[in-house]
Chain A
Amino acid sequence: MSSKGRRLARHDWGRLLLSWFAMPMAALAALLIGAVMLWALGANPITGYRALGDGAFGSVNALTNTAIKAVPLVLVGVGICIAFRANVLNIGGEGQLVMGGLASTATALAVPGVPRPLLIPLVLLAGLAGGAIWGAIPGALKAYFNVNEILSTIMLNIVAVQVMNYLLSGPLIDKTFSGFSAIPQTKRLAPNADLPILVGNTKLHAGILVALLAAAVVYVLLWRTGLGFRLRAVGLSREASSYAGMPVKRTITLALTLSGAMAGLAGAVLVFGSASHRMVTDGTATGFTGSAGFNGIVAALFGGLHPLWTILSSFIFGGLLVGGNAVQRAVQVPSSLIVALNGLVVVFVVSIEYVRRRNRNRPLSFGMPQPVQEPSGTPEEVEL
């Protein structure tokens, strides 16, 4: 008789209901604080939040915007699922997005005449490759040189941004904009590389399919392949995996490489699915990525590091981002309020996990592997 059965029996409906609604409740609590802030700024919170719902989900146009916003979140997010489950904290999403974008852009600029059915997969692959390289570097550094990946990925973010600045304001710049109007952006890339629109009149592009496909692939990878098993095993215990004969170093490198590849793919989709069909920046990573590198981490963790749930959490988070802009427009508050509000929602939702966890016995949170306690030093250090 499974322990599961016993646990279920112990719950009463009140607690169960509480944990079901915990996350939405937390989000609403954060939005309530946001309402107070809106009111303090002289804006009507009701108008504001109506705009939030409207702008995120209230029309076909809104849903399209939300879906498009969610695409890079899903892609980065499923990459994070791979990395974080292998206990490799990839904070380099931004840099990997940039490198993927650059690689795919360069490809489109190099061979613009290639017929469409070939060019699109080509640029997407280039994006994958660019991101993969930018993930492989910190991966190898961690595996073979014990360089902490948080350090190397953060540093490589900085490097990626400057490489982008150099390329987009130099060799790859759009020369038709002159003087004052020249900003770091490429020319309009080959139309053959445009991601096709899926639904007639909308802007919904094939990036959605790419994202969904990627999520499915990563799901299969993590739970139905040997590599996936090794990734998860290494995440739970490096020592045990090593003892069991798994190639730990290679697995760790692969974890970051694959994670980077996903982010790189997101970068390619950002460029070729975008309305402008160019790569552009304002000198920072955010100008190109819209913070998808960080938001993807949030989406993945809220999805329990499960690729399929990440789709849902990305969609919701995307709605928050798109809806937030609509709030700004509707009540004319500074956009920074919306940024702060997003932060509040994240903090509140992540905090409510405690309430949910009280209804269970397991301390696991959001799918983050809680590695087996490694022996920590010589016996003398722990006095009994």
Chain B
Amino acid sequence: MNRKLLRTTSLVALVAVAALIGAACSNKKTPTTATSGATTGAATTPAEPFKVAIVAPSAPNDLAFTQSMVDAVNRLKDQYNLDIAVSDSLFVVEDAAAAIRDYASKGYDLVIAHGSQFGGSVQEIAADFPDVSFAWGTAGDTFRLPNVFAYQAASDQGGYVMGQMAAALSQSGVIGMVGPIEVGDAKLYVDGFKNGAVAEKSTVDVRVNYTGSFSDVALASEAAKSFVDAGADVMTGSAQMVVGAVGVAKENNVAWFGTQSNQTSLAPEVVVASQVYHWEVVLSQIIDAIKAGTLGGQTYNIDLANGGEVIEFNADYALSDEVKAIGDAAVQGIKDGTIDTGASA
């Protein structure tokens, strides 16, 4: 009974302390300046900062989904005088919703909800903050709300182009692809790549290995090794665990194609090219729209045509002109619409 009493009182004390802190703070309201895009579009660096918040589901340095957005926003920083806040690793919807709501209430001009699962929260919170603009991706639905933008990416396009080059490049005729789980962006990319490879050379043997995890680097590494043992001389992969596979490619002098970010720095000797997501292409359109008074209602795509997806070649890799020409032709074909990547939703 004594012990119980002690525990009771300590826990009560802890709550009391916390409540005191809470009470002391609740009187201090953080100033909510509603700077909602009142400044009309200025071409030069604007004097007044534009506040952008990113709420993302994974790490900001994952060389994948989250990093692509964080990098894009940073690329626009000087041009728009951006005041940037990032809350990463918030996969769980409740936590992300709290963050989105918090940033909205603190007077951010644009809150980027970078995760397909945040849709319901965005729909709810956007209604509460009509003066704040929300960008939700990747998705194609703005809920018919006037202050919600949506954005998505056609990652199969770059995949197709690089698949063509991979098939042309490969001498053994075996290509290895390391994937996480067969869903979403990874599936789209893998399917696009495979279709491109087969379209270039129908006899090419494309092996796909979905390891079952987005982040297990060791599994990715061993999967890559199994490809190498199977004779692959070109490899690619998707998701943040590919760093393991790139390492194996480097060790075995196997050519590598990357996606989502420029992976040249990982292995300058073997990385041929990367499909880089330049979200800033659509972000700048969004910010311009906000400054002009439109807070939402539009869906944006990044693809090869608008420069949102760019095949960035590794300058240090001695790529033959024929292979590069095949790549360029594929890019042009997709832009024209004459090539269909065949990777469906």
| A–B proximity contact (CB within 8 A) | yes
Binding site for B on A (CB under 8 A): 4, 7-8, 16, 19-24, 27-28, 49-50, 52-59, 61-62, 65, 68-69, 162, 165, 169-170, 173, 177-185, 188, 274-278, 280, 282-284, 286-288, 290, 304, 309, 312-313, 315-316, 319, 322, 325-326, 328-329, 332, 334-336, 356, 359-360, 362, 364
Name the B residues within 8 Å of A329 (CB-CB).
85, 87, 99, 102-103
Q: How far is the CA of A237 from the CA of B7 in the complex (A)?
A: 26
On whether the beta carbons of B14 and A23 are closer than 8 Å, the reply is yes
Name the A residues within 8 Å of B11 (CB-CB).
23, 309, 312-313, 316
Q: Given A68-B94, A181-B152, A183-B184, does the pair A335, B89 have CB atoms closer than 8 Å?
A: yes
Q: How far is the CA of A53 from the CA of B19 in the complex (A)?
A: 8
Name the A residues within 8 Å of B86 (CB-CB).
332
Task: Give the contacting residue for A316; candidates B4, B18, B21, B124; CB below 8 A.
Answer: B18
| B127 at interface by CB-CB < 8 Å | no
| B188 at interface by CB-CB < 8 Å | yes
On whether the beta carbons of A282 and B214 are closer than 8 Å, the reply is yes
Q: Which of B71-79, B175-183, B279-287 contacts A (4 or more CB under 8 A)?
A: B175-183
On whether the beta carbons of A4 and B93 are closer than 8 Å, the reply is no
Q: How far is the CA of A362 from the CA of B91 in the complex (A)?
A: 43
On whether the beta carbons of A325 and B87 are closer than 8 Å, the reply is yes
Name the A residues within 8 Å of B137 (CB-CB).
181
On whether the beta carbons of A182 and B21 are closer than 8 Å, the reply is no
Q: Given A162-B212, A276-B120, A276-B121, does the pair A180, B185 have CB atoms closer than 8 Å?
A: yes
Interface string of B99-141 (1 = CB under 8 A from A): 1011100000000000111111100100000000000011110
| B332 at interface by CB-CB < 8 Å | no
The residue of chain A having its C-beta at the shortest distance from the C-beta of B99 within the complex is A329
Q: How far is the CA of A32 from the CA of B18 in the complex (A)?
A: 15
Interface string of B301-345 (1 = CB under 8 A from A): 000000000000000000000000000000000000000000111
On whether the beta carbons of B13 and A21 are closer than 8 Å, the reply is yes
On whether the beta carbons of A53 and B22 are closer than 8 Å, the reply is yes
Total interface residues in chain B, CB < 8 Å: 75
On whether the beta carbons of A183 and B85 are closer than 8 Å, the reply is no
12 contacts between A and B (CB under 8 A): A16-B6, A20-B13, A23-B11, A49-B21, A52-B21, A57-B19, A169-B183, A181-B139, A287-B57, A288-B92, A309-B8, A329-B103
Name the B residues within 8 Å of A24 (CB-CB).
10, 13-14, 17
Q: How far is the CA of A52 from the CA of B19 in the complex (A)?
A: 11
| B155 at interface by CB-CB < 8 Å | yes
Q: Given A53-B24, A57-B19, A329-B99, does the pair A182, B116 have CB atoms closer than 8 Å?
A: yes
On whether the beta carbons of A184 and B183 are closer than 8 Å, the reply is yes
A272 to chain B, nearest CB (A): 13
On whether the beta carbons of B85 and A179 are closer than 8 Å, the reply is no
Name the A residues within 8 Å of B1 (CB-CB).
4
Name the A residues within 8 Å of B94 (CB-CB).
65, 68-69, 274-275, 290
| B156 at interface by CB-CB < 8 Å | yes
| B153 at interface by CB-CB < 8 Å | yes
Name the B residues within 8 Å of A4 (CB-CB).
1-2
Q: Given A182-B184, A332-B86, does the pair A319, B345 have CB atoms closer than 8 Å?
A: no
| B233 at interface by CB-CB < 8 Å | no
Interface string of B164-186 (1 = CB under 8 A from A): 00000000000000001111110
On whether the beta carbons of B92 and A50 are closer than 8 Å, the reply is no
Binding site for A on B (CB under 8 A): 1-4, 6-11, 13-15, 17-19, 21-26, 28, 57-58, 60, 85-95, 97-99, 101-103, 115-121, 124, 137-140, 152-156, 180-185, 187-188, 212-215, 343-345
The residue of chain A having its C-beta at the shortest distance from the C-beta of B138 within the complex is A181
Task: Give the contacting residue for B98; candidates A52, A65, A178, A335; CB below 8 A.
Answer: A65
Q: Given A58-B22, A184-B181, does the pair A22, B10 have CB atoms closer than 8 Å?
A: yes
The residue of chain A having its C-beta at the shortest distance from the C-beta of B89 within the complex is A335
B10 to chain A, nearest CB (A): 4
Name the B residues within 8 Å of A55 (CB-CB).
98, 102
The residue of chain A having its C-beta at the shortest distance from the C-beta of B5 within the complex is A20
Q: How far is the CA of A290 from the CA of B98 in the complex (A)?
A: 14
**Quick one: which of A19, A359, A360 has the most chain B CB within 10 A?**
A19
Name the A residues within 8 Å of B13 (CB-CB).
20-21, 23-24
Task: Give the contacting residue for A183; candidates B7, B90, B98, B117; CB below 8 A.
Answer: B117
Q: Given A53-B22, A283-B181, does the pair A275, B93 have CB atoms closer than 8 Å?
A: yes
Name the B residues within 8 Å of A283 (CB-CB).
180-181, 212-215
On whether the beta carbons of A7 and B184 are closer than 8 Å, the reply is no
Name the A residues within 8 Å of B58 (CB-CB).
282
A189 to chain B, nearest CB (A): 11
On whether the beta carbons of B28 and A286 are closer than 8 Å, the reply is no
Name the B residues within 8 Å of A356 (CB-CB).
6, 10
Q: How far is the CA of A49 from the CA of B4 in the complex (A)?
A: 30
| Nearest 5 interchain pairs by C-beta | A178-B345, A57-B22, A53-B21, A169-B183, A276-B120
Name the B residues within 8 Å of A59 (CB-CB).
26
On whether the beta carbons of A275 and B95 are closer than 8 Å, the reply is no
Task: Give the contacting residue for B117; candidates A7, A61, A278, A335; CB below 8 A.
Answer: A278
Name the B residues within 8 Å of A336 (CB-CB).
89
Task: Give the contacting residue for B183; candidates A62, A183, A286, A316; CB below 8 A.
Answer: A183
Name the B residues within 8 Å of A183 (CB-CB).
115-117, 183-184
Name the A residues within 8 Å of B93 (CB-CB).
274-276, 280
Q: Given A182-B187, A282-B58, A332-B86, does the pair A177, B181 have CB atoms closer than 8 Å?
A: no
